[in-house]
Amino acid sequence: QKEVEQNSGPLSVPEGAIASLNCTYSDRGSQSFFWYRQYSGKSPELIMFIYSNGDKEDGRFTAQLNKASQYVSLLIRDSQPSDSATYLCAVEDSARQLTFGSGTQLTVLP
């Protein structure tokens, strides 16, 4: 069974700090990796996607992918209280289905 694992948290960081969110996956055939943000009671919102090994930066967000280690991470620089949410890692497997992790709850303290 394909698994996507995340630390459930909660992860608390002070405002302005870097938040680091981690995700591992079991299916070596996975090709595409996504980070979604979900506020409580709301739908997931895509914030980053990455397909190739290495880093991808978009504003305050950096996604990192290491396919050999089956590991993907999300860094949030200069964290803001509005970043407080649950961050979902999602992996597209070889069957082109998205499998979501259980999410990491992030709290940014003012």
- Cβ-in-10-Å burial (0-12, 13-18, 19+) of 81 comes to exposed
**Residue 26: strand pairing partners:** none
Beta carbon nearer to other proteins, 2 or 60: 2
Q: Name the amino acid, one letter, at 105.
A: Q
Residues in contact with other proteins, counted by CB under 8 A, come to a total of 21
Q: Which residues contact 62 (CB under 8 A, 6 or more apart)?
A: 55, 56, 74, 75, 77
Choice from 74, 101, 104, 105 touching other proteins (CB under 8 A): 101
- Per-residue contact string for residues 39-78; x = within reach of other proteins by CB under 8 A: ---xxxxx--x-----------------------------
Asked if residue 28 binds other proteins (CB under 8 A), the reply is no
Interface positions with other proteins (CB under 8 A): 31-32, 34, 42-46, 49, 88, 90, 92, 95-103
